[in-house]
């Protein structure tokens, strides 16, 4: 506080006997105008309160910035989930989950020891009983046991309780051929003769690619016995060895989209674990025989979450449909898909429904707790000191008490502290904002770096594939390659092996010089072929034989498509197999 300018001008706290008797307070009573001690305390009061105002304002700005970052992070996670909800509310997704659960239950039920037909049948029947299928008893299960994983023996189609009996011939052939393809043997399903059979069994949209290895475990639409259904097939393995296969057919139940929505409500934590929010489905307007109340997750039974769901429902429709009318006046809240809706400490974000959904998807969750901010704590502590100090000081002075009289040094220190407190509060606020900006910029920089690396990886893999393809075409265009293959036919085995090894070594050397690390190189002609397996890549001779059989099937298709036997056909087969094995 300021010192006295002169001896005749007392300071803020005058010494006893100056201007106020023994207490140092002017003789005028409190409440009278022109009190000198009130005027003297006004400037210190302002200097002490101004830093509190600055700290409170800066901490509130930091809190708002943190809240915006929290909302942005929450919205990003919610949008990723909402984008996948339409797929999760479709029956094929739950059919695939049921098939996956069937495989898991089978692996637990089969037990140790050799797998026989009886143990396979018993384990699969037990696994099917433990698996809760979406269509219940209306589902059909076909299964085949493979006595020999190499498919040298005919599979056994299971029958009896729990297994379907219709379409036995077709299902037996399908499960046999997918097993042959899994053993790297040619499959008859991809021939023209099987296309009509598949379409007669699964509908006109059925194609042989649905039973290719890439479609294993994926549901596809089918029409069986005049009813729309979802079909799925997969292999059953024990210890990495294929012991059988199964095919499931799930007919669409009435209102299947509502069934899938209910399944998602009850199995949310399994489908979207540890997300921090729960699903809510708001009924879309229409002539659907369903209640007009929202479908909420059981975890959203709290009043705040229910109020928020009702608020979203009111914002979705401006007028309900009249009795007998298919639609009312509807307003879909597109803006609610872009920003968070808040109510009583709960957040919500709407998604976009798919064509088959009868509900508007939303996610609702409690607002995340606000992280502590140093400026808030500092402002709270400083405010408490002000509330505790100034009322006591004013009450003491108003009741005629004697104010403390600091020395000149302490008074200068107090004035200095009052003058620098406000700039210091501004500096602390600027530092907090700078820290948040640096963190946000760092996160954005790391995100851009990861995206750049992924883009470089994708671009680099494309360039690498193109370079390898060009190299394979150059190998296939080697002068005299087709003629050499033709010349080797009919010669003794020793000459074929010697000349073939030299030819393969030369082509392998060309590939290595081009930067291609080959696993194997295969050359096929109309009447035979040559192969070279690089050491260290194939674990066993059986695996090498399977790899050769696989590429031989590809080469035969290429040779057949290229017309009569010719050097061009041989070269084309060589290029295709070399590219596939690189």
Domain boundaries, the chain: 91-253, 273-366, 477-581
SS3 of 332, please? Answer: coil
- Report the pLDDT value the prediction gives residue 453, as an integer from 0 to 100: 82
The reported pLDDT for the residue numbered 357 is 83
Within 13 Å, how many C-alpha atoms sit on residue 81's CB side? 26
Spacing of C-alpha 147 from chain mean position: 40
Q: What is the distance of C-alpha 153 from the center of its chain? A: 43
Spatial separation of the C-alpha atoms in residues 464 and 262, rounded to whole Å: 47
pLDDT score recorded for residue 496? 72
User: DSSP strand E in 147-251: where?
Assistant: 156-157, 220-224, 227-238, 241-251
**DSSP E strand stretches across 264-404:** 278-283, 295-296, 341-343, 346-350, 359-366
Q: Provide the 8-state DSSP code for 406.
A: -
- In tens digits, the chain (582 residues) has pLDDT values of 444 433 344 444 444 444 444 444 444 444 444 455 566 677 777 888 888 888 888 888 888 888 888 888 899 899 999 999 998 988 889 989 989 999 999 988 887 778 888 999 999 988 988 887 665 567 889 999 998 888 888 889 998 888 888 888 889 999 998 998 888 788 888 888 888 888 888 988 888 888 888 888 898 988 887 888 999 999 998 888 889 999 999 888 888 888 888 889 988 988 998 888 899 998 877 645 555 678 898 888 888 899 998 888 877 665 555 665 555 556 666 777 788 888 888 999 998 888 788 888 999 999 888 777 777 788 788 888 888 777 777 777 667 666 666 667 777 777 777 777 788 878 877 777 777 777 777 877 887 888 788 887 777 777 777 777 787 777 777 777 777 777 777 677 677 777 777 777 777 777 777 777 777 777 776 656 777 776 666 656 666 666 677 777 676 666 665 554 444 444 434 433 443 344
Positive or negative: CA dihedral 31, 34, 40, 44: positive
- What is the residue-wise DSSP string for 17-31? TSSSGGGTS-SSPTT
Nearest partner of 433 among 74, 73, 60, judged by Cα: 60
* Candidate CATH numbers 2.40.50, 3.30.450, 2.60.40, 3.30.300; the one for domain 91-253: 3.30.450
Q: Which residues contact 225 (CB under 8 A, 6 or more apart)?
A: none
- What does the pLDDT read at residue 142? 92
How far is it, in rounded angstroms, from Cα 537 to Cα 519?
6
3-state class (DSSP) for residue 217: coil
Cβ atoms within 10 Å, residue 294: 19
In 3D, which of 99, 113, 118, 129 has the Cα closest to residue 236? Answer: 99
156-157 and 241-251 as β-strands: parallel, antiparallel, unpaired?
A: unpaired
pLDDT for the residue 28:
41
Question: What are the residue ranges of helices labelled H in 477-540?
Answer: 481-488, 493-513
Structure confidence at residue 167 (pLDDT) = 87
Phi, psi of 144, rounded to the nearest 5 degrees: -130, 140
Q: What are 479's two structure tokens?
A: 């002068």
Residues in the chain: 582
Query: Across the strands, what pairs with 535?
Result: none
């Amino acid at each position: 506080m300021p010192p006295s300018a002169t001896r005749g001008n007392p300071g803020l706290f005058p010494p006893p006997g100056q201007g106020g008797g023994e207490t140092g307070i002017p003789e005028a009573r409190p409440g009278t105008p022109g009190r000198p001690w009130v005027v003297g305390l006004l400037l210190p009061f302002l200097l002490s309160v101004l830093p509190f105002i600055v700290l409170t304002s800066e901490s509130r700005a930091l809190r708002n910035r943190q809240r915006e970052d929290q909302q942005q992070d929450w919205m990003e996670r919610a949008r990723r989930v909402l984008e996948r909800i339409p797929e999760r509310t479709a029956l094929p997704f739950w059919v695939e989950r049921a098939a996956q659960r069937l495989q898991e239950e089978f692996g637990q039920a089969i037990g140790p020891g050799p797998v026989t037909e009886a143990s396979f049948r018993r384990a699969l029947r037990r696994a099917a009983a433990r698996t809760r299928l979406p269509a219940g008893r209306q589902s059909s299960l076909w299964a085949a046991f493979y006595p020999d994983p190499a498919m040298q023996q005919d599979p056994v189609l299971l029958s009896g309780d729990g297994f379907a009996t219709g379409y036995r011939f077709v299902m037996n052939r399908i499960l046999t051929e997918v097993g042959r393809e899994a053993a790297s043997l040619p499959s008859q399903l991809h021939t023209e003769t099987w296309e009509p059979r598949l379409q007669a069994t699964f509908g006109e949209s059925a194609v042989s690619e649905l039973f290719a290895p890439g479609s294993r475990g994926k549901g596809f639409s089918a029409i069986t016995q005049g009813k729309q259904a979802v079909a799925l097939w997969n292999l059953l393995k024990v210890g990495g060895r294929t012991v059988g296969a199964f095919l499931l057919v799930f007919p669409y139940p009435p209102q299947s989209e509502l069934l899938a929505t209910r399944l998602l409500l009850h199995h949310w934590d399994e489908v979207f674990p540890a997300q921090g929010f729960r699903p809510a489905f708001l009924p879309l307007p229409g002539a659907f025989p369903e209640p007009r109340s929202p479908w909420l997750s059981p975890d959203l039974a709290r009043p705040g979450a229910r109020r928020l769901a009702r608020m979203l429902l009111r914002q979705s429709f401006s007028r309900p449909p009249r009795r007998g009318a298919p639609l009312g006046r509807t307003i879909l809240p597109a803006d609610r898909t872009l920003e968070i809706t808040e109510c009583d400490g709960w957040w919500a974000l709407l998604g976009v429904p798919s064509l088959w959904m009868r509900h508007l998807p939303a996610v609702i969750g409690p607002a995340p707790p606000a992280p502590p901010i140093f400026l808030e704590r500092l402002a709270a502590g400083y405010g408490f000191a002000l509330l505790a100090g100034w009322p006591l000081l004013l009450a003491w002075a108003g009741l005629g008490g004697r104010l403390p009289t600091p020395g000149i040094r302490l008074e200068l220190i107090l004035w200095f502290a009052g003058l620098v407190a406000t700039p210091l509060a501004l500096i602390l606020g600027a530092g907090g904002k700078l820290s948040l900006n640096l963190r946000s910029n760092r996160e954005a920089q790391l995100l851009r770096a990861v995206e750049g690396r992924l883009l470089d990886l994708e671009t680099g893999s494309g360039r690498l594939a193109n370079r390898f393809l060009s190299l394979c075409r150059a190998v296939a265009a080697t002068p005299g390659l087709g003629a050499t293959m033709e010349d080797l036919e009919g010669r003794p085995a020793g000459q074929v092996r010697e000349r073939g090894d030299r030819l393969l070594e030369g082509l392998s050397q060309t590939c290595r010089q081009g930067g291609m690390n080959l696993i194997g190189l295969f050359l096929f002609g109309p009447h035979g072929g040559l192969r070279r397996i690089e050491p260290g890549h194939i674990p066993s001779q059986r695996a090498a034989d399977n790899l050769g059989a696989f590429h031989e099937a590809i080469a035969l298709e290429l040779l057949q498509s290229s017309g009569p036997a010719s050097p061009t056909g041989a070269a084309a087969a060589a290029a295709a197999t070399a590219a596939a094995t690189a």
